[in-house]
């Protein structure tokens, strides 16, 4: 059992209320369970109880065993002197405050319905790789599921925005570098995302910006710093990039190149090769003197498409690697990759900036983008689809990812509207 279950039982009073008594035999009546405390200190604040007809107002602390009070050293903390009731599953020891006064205790072990405890144990003990409530999920009404989805979508946006704000802090408040690094990581997808992020950190946007409208120079810098220009190849385009990079690397004193072996090609479609992605990035960046400014000023998905899906240079329309011609003409980023960048980079940047400047319009625009794009098709969304809940938009699929990662996998069923509905049923 987890303390979270006792929090749930106490908060909603899912225990037998008849003839309530403390462990010392005092008559107990609960006027208000109080409010959950998410900060340090007792678990519930502003609680009210009657003990032998005397009203007490203060905090409630919850433990599995009463002796946990001493295990957590609450007897030494004056912040717990205002605890008016100790709620425990099992009473095994008298507890006192730091001033040595005894705290009234309520034991719940024999007051919780057996079926409620069984349902809870079924959820918590379900295999981790699966959704704990999958056998009961379809029994919960759709209104409960969709209201939970709305909550999760906002949580997911906030979660990703916080990641952008953490990156912004590392970049000492530089939004341009932050947007640039985020773009690189998202374009690399899961396979090469971390390596693209390293490339962005070694080739700052402040350097790329010097070569605005000079795609060939940007290509030479990125391919060179990625470690792809170290070989001797008989290819006029390759040799041109190699010579240009040697000049620019000396000019800007850039020496910490990546190793070409860091890039992954195995099991990737040629259109997703890192070489193709670097060529597409070069095209995107050559048309953008101020990346972050462009992101926050574009107001619809169509304009984002026209900017990000521009075709690469002529060589990369015909090759997927150096000296490796493509059997068919290659274009700009595909729709799936565009939507990945939108979901994992552009939307989080908008939400983060909206939070930073306290302007809801940026958050609203981000949400409208997600409502426009197709839902992601991955193992998580397929799990919920198998349970009768399909994602209709990118906002829905993001909510499902949040649901699975932060609730189902962590067994936070008591914080989930579906989980609590199952327990109540």
- Is residue 307 classed as helix, strand or coil in its secondary structure? helix
State the chain's mean pLDDT as an integer: 93
Give the CB-side neighbour count of residue 42, counting CA atoms within 13 A.
24
The model's pLDDT over 9-32, given as tens digits with 9 standing for 90+, comes to 998 898 988 899 999 999 999 999
Q: What is the pLDDT of residue 99?
A: 85
Q: So what's the pLDDT on residue 129?
A: 66
The string of pLDDT tens digits covering residues 240-278 is 999 999 999 999 988 789 999 999 999 899 999 999 999
Q: Between the CA of residue 113 and those of 19, 118, 123, what are the distances in Å?
A: 16, 9, 16
What was the pLDDT predicted at 38? 83
Q: Within 10 A of 193 (CB to CB), how many other CB atoms are there?
A: 16
pTM higher than 0.75, yes or no?
Answer: yes
The DSSP secondary structure of 202-229, one letter per residue, reads HS-HHHHGGGTT-HHHHHHHHHHHTTTT
SS3 assignment, position 31: strand
> How far is it, in rounded angstroms, from Cα 61 to Cα 52?
20
Closest CA to 218 of 277, 282, 291: 282
Q: Do residues 397 and 384 make contact, with C-beta atoms less than 8 angstroms apart?
A: no
Tell me the pLDDT tens digit for each residue of 115-173: 888 888 888 877 766 788 888 899 999 999 999 999 999 999 999 999 999 999 999 99
């Amino acid at each position: 059992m987890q303390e979270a279950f006792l929090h749930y039982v106490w908060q909603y009073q899912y225990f037998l209320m008849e003839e309530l008594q403390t462990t010392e035999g005092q008559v107990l009546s609960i006027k208000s369970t109080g409010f959950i405390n998410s900060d340090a200190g007792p678990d519930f604040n502003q609680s009210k109880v009657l003990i032998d007809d005397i009203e007490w107002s203060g905090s409630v602390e919850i433990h599995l065993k009463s002796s946990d009070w001493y295990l957590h050293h609450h007897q030494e903390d004056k912040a717990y002197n205002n605890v008016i009731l100790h709620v425990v599953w099992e009473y095994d020891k008298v507890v006192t405050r730091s001033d040595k006064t005894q705290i009234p205790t309520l034991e719940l072990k024999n007051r919780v319905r057996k079926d409620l405890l069984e349902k809870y144990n079924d959820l918590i003990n379900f295999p981790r790789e699966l959704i704990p409530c999958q056998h009961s999920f379809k029994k919960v009404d759709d209104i409960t599921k969709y209201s939970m989805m709305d909550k999760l979508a906002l949580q997911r946006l906030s979660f990703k925005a916080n990641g952008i704000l953490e990156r912004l802090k590392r970049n000492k408040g530089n939004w341009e570098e932050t947007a640039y690094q985020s773009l690189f990581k998202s374009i690399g997808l899961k396979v090469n995302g971390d390596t693209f992020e390293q490339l962005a950190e070694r080739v700052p946007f402040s350097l790329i910006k010097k070569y605005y409208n000079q795609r060939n120079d940007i290509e030479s810098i990125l391919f060179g710093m990625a470690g792809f220009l170290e070989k001797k190849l008989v290819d006029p385009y390759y040799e041109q990039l190699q010579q240009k990079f040697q000049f620019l690397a000396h000019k800007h004193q850039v020496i910490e190149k990546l190793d070409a072996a860091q890039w992954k090609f195995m099991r990737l479609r040629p259109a997703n090769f890192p070489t193709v992605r670097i060529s597409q990035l070069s095209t995107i960046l050559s048309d953008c003197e101020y990346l972050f400014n462009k992101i926050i000023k574009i107001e619809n998905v169509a304009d984002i498409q026209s900017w990000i899906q521009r075709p690469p240079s002529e060589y990369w329309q015909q090759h997927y690697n150096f000296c490796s011609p493509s059997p068919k003409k290659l274009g700009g980023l595909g729709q799936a990759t565009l939507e990945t960048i939108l979901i994992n980079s552009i939307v989080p940047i908008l939400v983060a900036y909206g939070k930073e400047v306290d302007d809801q319009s940026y958050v609203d625009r981000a949400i409208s983008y997600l409502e426009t794009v197709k839902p992601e098709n991955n193992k998580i969304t397929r799990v919920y689809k198998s349970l009768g809940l399909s994602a209709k938009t990118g906002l829905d699929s993001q909510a499902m990812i949040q649901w699975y990662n932060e609730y189902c996998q962590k067994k936070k069923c008591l914080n989930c509207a579906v989980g609590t509905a199952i327990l109540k049923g």
